[in-house]
Every structure is written in C-alpha cells, then in structure tokens.
Structure 1
Amino acid sequence: MPLLFTGFNAFGQHECVSGDADCAAGFSEINTTVSTQNQCTISVGWRYAALAFGRKLFLRGLLDDGPNECVTHEAAGDIKAMAAGDSYCLVLLHNGQLYRVQPRLQAELLFVRLEAPPRSNSGTKRSIFGIPKAPSSPIIEHIACGSHINVAISSENSVYSIPSCLHQFSERQFRVKQLQCGFEHAVLLNVNGDVFTWGNGLRGQLGQAVLRVEETPQLVEALAGIKITQIAAGGWHSAAISAFGDLYTWGLNCSGQLGMRVMKPGGLLKEPTVYPLPQLQDLPECGCPQESRGSDDCAPLRAFAGSRHTLMIRQCGRLWATGWCKHGQLGKRLQNLSYLDSFKALEGIVVNPSSDNVLCGPWSTLIFLRKLEN
C-alpha cells in the first residue's frame, strides 16, 4: 500500500522514494513501509511531520537549525493518534493517556496532566466504606490541534482546552464521533449527526450567523435536523457531509477552498470572501463508469481540509479537490495555478472510500493509495 505525498516539502518533512516517480495526478511516493498489517499513524505540521509505528514516534523536518532533521521517541504504549501543532505534537496512546513533545531535537515526551472536570450533581464518589475516592485521570479518546488551539475529548465527554476543562456535555447518550481543528477553531461531530463548533469565528469558520469568538461548543443551528456523517476543519474554513450525500462548506473562501467562485466571469467583481453559514455545494458530475448505475454511486462520502484547500472522496473512490495549490498541495500538475475555485477531479487516483486514507497538512496532502487508474 504506497503512501503518496504532494505539497510543501522545503524542510524535508517527507523523504520521497529515489527517482521521485509521480502518479498521474503528480503525487510522489514516500520512502516509508506502510501496510495493512503494520499500523501507521501520521500527522503533518507546516515545518515537520510526525510518524508513528506501534510505540515508536519519528519527527522529521525543521526541528532546530535546518531541514531534514530527525528525532525518535518511544512512548509508554502503542500510539493511537497524533496531532502536530506549531508548539508541540500531541500523542494519544491506546490506553487513553495523553503526552506531548516539542518538535525539537532534545525535547522529551512528557505526560500531560489534565484538569479534573467539574463534579456532577450526584456529589463526591465514595467507596463502599464511605471514603471519598480520589478523582481518576481522564481517559482521552479524541485529540486535535491547530496554530492557536488544542483540544482533547475524554470518555466522559469532557472538552479540554489543554490542560483546562473547557466544557462538560452532560447528556449520557452524547458520544463524540469526530473532532477536527483549524488554525483557531474546533469542529465536533457526535454520533447523532449534530455539529458543534467553538473558537475564533471572525472568518465565518464556526458556521454561526454572527461572527464572534465562542468560548464553549455551540450547536451549528443551520445544520440542525440534518444528519451529518463526517466533518473537516481547514485553516479558517469547515466542511461537512450529510447522510444524504450532500457537501456543505463555510468560512473563508479567499482561495476557493469552499468550492465557490472567487471572481465572477471576466475577473471584474469579487464574490463574498466569507460565508458564515453552511453552503450546500452543487457539485459537477463525476464522469466515472459507476455513475451510470445511479447518482448515489458518486455522492460525496468524506471531506478533508488543509490551510486553504479542501479534498473530497466520492462513493466511487475518486478524489476531488479545490482551493489553494501554489505549493502543489492539489498535485504537482496544478502547481502553476494559484488556486481552483471549484471542485476538480484528481485524475489517476482511486482510494478506498470506506477508510480514513487521506490526510491534509496545512500546505500538503498525503494519500494511502488503493490503486492507480489506467
């Protein structure tokens, strides 16, 4: 299973295979052994990449003095997820413990002590002998971070702005399905299909009618009643896909990252740059052979977002992209363009639509490839 990369790599974050053989869309294969039996966890920042196999953590890129620097750490247990931020990389183990490490050559992997959530109305928990129980360490299930925000969600539905407890969802049936962070905002999806956002919303990235900062998670009312199955958070924009196969985008559209026209025909008048409320996208026909079987065969299934670009997988497995491509983050064949302001198919790539096999860094894209089209 090859791991393909395209985009900004000036600091040697990714070591490409010798020869730099490109696939049809202009992606290069990374020199990393990845298979379905060897679980690989990846997170990408703008100046370094984090790669984990089992307990081993590798940081590569600009760490101290120059490009191509690399450091290795060993965690206390198998690594479940990572989030590469500017100041440090969050590392979540399968046992729910959270660690962090600065992207520096001499930095250590440190345990993160989180603030205890507020006590419930049921009072202090006690043993069968009436002795108060010491609060246990939260078990973390989801992590995400951006340039100015870092978030963790516990098994008890506590929301942390690390290390402080920011909010507690009180509903027993509330379960978090997905968590994403942009530069300054967070997007949360629960298993009921409800979307919550918080953080800086001055560029419309929260999906709320009023542009402001939200300190705690707020329901996106514009999507209420629509069962959302998948979300994405870019730098200053967000995306969501519904159970009906509809794609919604909102936030900043300076580079066409919402899939909406930036300039009107003729380039004379500029369209709105910020769309505060979710916009339903009228996507082009896929054009693949499966589309003749029915419209659902090519409906949007998953969305992914970088700093100013957005990718979408359709049911047929084809990958579509829009937004900023100056660094080649939409494929090297498009690097001569500043941006795309509508979704375009990345010809030559078919991915497995049923798995998380696409990852967007701020200025890059990585793909676990299923096959190349002929």
Structure 2
Amino acid sequence: MRWFGFGFNGFGQIFATEDKTDTAQEGKVFCPTLVQSVNKCTCGRDASAELQQIRASWSGRLSFPLKGDSGVFLDGFRGLGANKCCGFVEQSLGCKDAFSSESQLILAFQDRNEVWDFEKSENGPVWSMDVRPSSHTSDPPTKLPLAPEGYIASKPPFFRPLSPHLQAKSIALGPEHVILLSATGAVYTWGQGSHGQLGHGSLTSEDEPRAVEALWGVPMKAVAAGSWHSCCISATADLYVWGWNEIGQLGLPSRGVKKLQQQKSHDKASQSQTVDVRPEDEPSQAEDDTEVFISIQAFPALLDLNPQSDIKAVSCGSRHTAAVTTEGNLYTWGWGGYGQLGHQNLISSDEPQCVEFFQKNQLHVTDVVCGAWNTFAAVARKEEIKKPPS
C-alpha cells in the first residue's frame, strides 16, 4: 500500500530533506508526496515505500512495513532516538501495534503492552502490563490505544480501567478529551469540554464516560478526535461533527475563515496599482451581522459533502479534518496553514473540498491519518480496486 503525505514537514516526518534554501516555505509540503524511507540501510532493515499503516504525531511518524521483520520505523524528530540509519525502533521487534506521543512510545505485543519514554529508553519500558487474548472474540488481543478492560493514554496515568458494561470497540484520544465507541455503536465522551468537543450541548467537562445522547439510537462505526473537535461515522456512512469551529474544522461557516479571505483580498488589492481601495469597499458590520457563523457546535451536527457521498474513514488533525468516501475520494477542510488540506496552497476552508491530486492521477484513496498539522492518505490505483460481485 502506498501512502502520500502533505502539510507540516518541519522534522522530516513526510520525507527527509536537508535543503534549507527556501526558508520561507521550509517545513511545508504543498503537494501530496509519496512517503518513503530508505529502501535499504546499513543494518539490513527493509523500510520500503510499501507501508501497511501509519501513525502520526506532531513531530513524528510511525510506519508499519508490509514486508520484512515485524516492528515499526520512526521518522521525524524522535526518529533520532531510533536506529540512526533507518529509524527502526529495536524495542518494537515483534510488536503487533504501536502508538506515539511527543514523549512516549506505546507498543502492543501478543502478550503484553509496554510504554517507553524517549528520554529513558536505555532503562527499559517505564510501564508494562501483561494481557490475555479474549476467548470470546477473534480480534487481536490489543488494539491501541484500547487495551483489554481499559485504555492506554499518552500521558500518565498510562492505563485507566473502564466499566465492563461499556464493552469498548475503539477509542480516540485528543489532547484533553476522549471519545469511546462501544460494541453496540454508542458513543461516549469525557475530559475537557470547554469547546463543546464532548458533544453534550454544554461547555462543561466530564470526569467519567458519558453517552452522547444526541447520537443515541444511531449506531456508529468509527470515531476521531482533534485538539478541540470530534467526528464519528454512522453505520449508514453519515458523518457527524461537533466541537470548536474557529477555522472551519467542522466544515461549518467560520468567521475565522471569512476574516482570512477578507484579509487576503485586501492585501491583494493593496498591492495592485490599478485598484483604489476605499473604506466604503470594506464589508460593513451590518453586512457581517447578516451572515451566520458557528464558532462552537456543542451538539453533533450532520455534515454533508457536495456532492453527497458515503463516508468510509475520517481523521482529525489539530484544527483540520479529512474524510475518505466509498468512491475513493479524499475531502479535507479546516486550517491549511501548512498545506495539510492537500490543495497545493496554504488556504483554509470551512467547506469540505475534494483533493483533486488523487483524482487527476487515477488514485483511489482507501484510508487517511491526520497528524497535528499534516495529513497522510493511503492509496491504490483505480485499476487495482476489486469491484464487488454483481
């Protein structure tokens, strides 16, 4: 499977580069670019472009190769703590899954979970827990950050037990809030709620898991968490969004995006010698008041793409969102200051827009993973996609 990345590349997490000539655009990847590590390194590891999965943090990228030894490769800032010639994490040999924050690496093995501190790796894991595969399911014994009877967080405490009645299926961790998807398709949230990211209709925080009542009775199949916003996909492939929308990350009308557009138009007009910008040309306060902007959406809202499409996968960055349709198209919206929307510019958007790069190159997007300020998309050529039997 091939992965393309775009957006923030300040630590080489999309591709390594030593070119510092263009300091104005340093660390920004405008066009979707094939993610590649070194093909062969001096230690004999194979980190080819064929990757099974990617996990993204702010400064790094974990890559799971399709072939070769089991384990993960770490690229970016924290890649310096891994094998220097290829980024292979020796401690991950034999692991089934992995998750990285800015300070810790969480590894899931067949029989145990381990948490490694990047600054203390020579002393072994800072936390570990033995696990037993469940006899009631054929699923893998662990699926990070979810673990049997609880979940592993990226900050201490590393493990938190959950009530058995929740029967958690998957979990998404934001910096300050948590979204849990139960086996029945119900959504629970808890943590910081100051931007409506919990979906309970208020800005209050919750210490314990609380069901999102607005979604009760509508089974969900996937959840995602940004810094201050949340998303989920229903069993019928509809997309629901809630939380902070200051720069359009919910795909709803945003005053922040409007102001950026006005500022860009003003700057462009100011630079033109043929246009006389007058105060009366600026939008009046009365005109602004006629428009409806949403800064916080405290309840889940149904978001339709244009044209309407079924949603297959969704992921949230710090202040942007990306979704994959069943047709294999990638839509992005929100803050685009590092090119993380994939439209080959730095423009933010409060409307979901299709990333045309993949359409033009006859690429079918199958999955998406957002880092804080970048985006990674898994693709296959359209002729490689197997059509369902008629």
CA distance in 1, matches of 2:320, 2:17: 25
CA distance in 2, matches of 1:165, 1:28: 36
- Kindly indicate which of the two structures has a greater share of residues assigned to strand: 1
CA distance in 1, matches of 2:161, 2:95: 26
TM-score by length of 1: 0.74
C-alpha spacing 1:241/1:344, structure 2 compared with 1 (3 Å)? same
**Counterpart of 2:4?**
4
| Alignment of structure 1 residues 282-297 onto 2, 5 Å | 282-285=304-307
1:268 aligns with 2:284: no
**Counterpart of 2:36?**
31
C-alpha spacing 1:51/1:347, structure 2 compared with 1 (3 Å)? same
CA distance in 1, matches of 2:89, 2:379: 27
**Counterpart of 1:215?**
207
1:100 aligns with 2:115: yes
C-alpha deviation, 1:234, in angstroms: 1.0
CA RMSD across the alignment: 3.3
Aligned AA (1:307): S
CA distance in 1, matches of 2:62, 2:80: 18
C-alpha deviation, 1:372, in angstroms: 7.2
**Counterpart of 1:187?**
179
C-alpha spacing 1:192/1:65, structure 2 compared with 1 (3 Å)? closer
C-alpha deviation, 1:254, in angstroms: 1.1
- Provide, for residues 329-373 of structure 1, a one-character-per-residue CA deviation record: whole Å limited to 9, x for no partner: 1115132x1x110101111326657x5x31111111111211379
Identify which of 278, 300, 307 aligns with 1:278.
300
C-alpha deviation, 1:182, in angstroms: 1.2
- Provide, for residues 49-74 of structure 1, a one-character-per-residue CA deviation record: whole Å limited to 9, x for no partner: 223444433333224999x9775322
5+ residue gaps, structure 2 = 20-29, 38-47, 134-140, 259-282, 384-390
**Counterpart of 1:80?**
96
Aligned AA (2:354): A
Point out the more displaced range, 102-111 or 322-331.
102-111
CA distance in 1, matches of 2:53, 2:118: 17
How many residues were matched structurally?
316
| Alignment of structure 1 residues 63-74 onto 2, 5 Å | 63=78, 71-74=87-90
Aligned AA (2:183): V
- Kindly indicate which of the two structures has a greater share of residues assigned to helix: 2
Identify which of 208, 231, 236 aligns with 2:228.
236
Instruction: Please say if residues 180 and 188 of structure 1, whose CA atoms lie closer than 8 Å, have aligned partners that are also in contact.
Output: yes
Identify which of 355, 364, 370 aligns with 1:346.
355
C-alpha spacing 1:107/1:61, structure 2 compared with 1 (3 Å)? farther
5+ residue gaps, structure 1 = 20-24, 115-135, 145-151, 287-297
Aligned AA (1:170): P
Instruction: Please say if residues 35 and 49 of structure 2, whose CA atoms lie closer than 8 Å, have aligned partners that are also in contact.
Output: no
CA distance in 2, matches of 1:105, 1:166: 23
CA distance in 2, matches of 1:217, 1:241: 19
C-alpha spacing 1:72/1:300, structure 2 compared with 1 (3 Å)? closer
Aligned AA (1:309): H
C-alpha deviation, 1:41, in angstroms: 3.9
**Counterpart of 2:75?**
60
**Counterpart of 2:373?**
363
Aligned AA (1:168): L
- Provide, for residues 26-64 of structure 1, a one-character-per-residue CA deviation record: whole Å limited to 9, x for no partner: 2011224243xxx63432221222234444333332249
C-alpha deviation, 1:222, in angstroms: 0.9
TM-score by length of 2: 0.71
Aligned AA (2:358): I
C-alpha spacing 1:164/1:348, structure 2 compared with 1 (3 Å)? closer
Instruction: Please say if residues 249 and 333 of structure 2, whose CA atoms lie closer than 8 Å, have aligned partners that are also in contact.
Output: yes
C-alpha deviation, 1:310, in angstroms: 0.6
Instruction: Please say if residues 205 and 237 of structure 1, whose CA atoms lie closer than 8 Å, have aligned partners that are also in contact.
Output: yes
Aligned AA (1:60): D
Identify which of 125, 150, 169 aligns with 2:163.
169
CA distance in 2, matches of 1:191, 1:64: 36
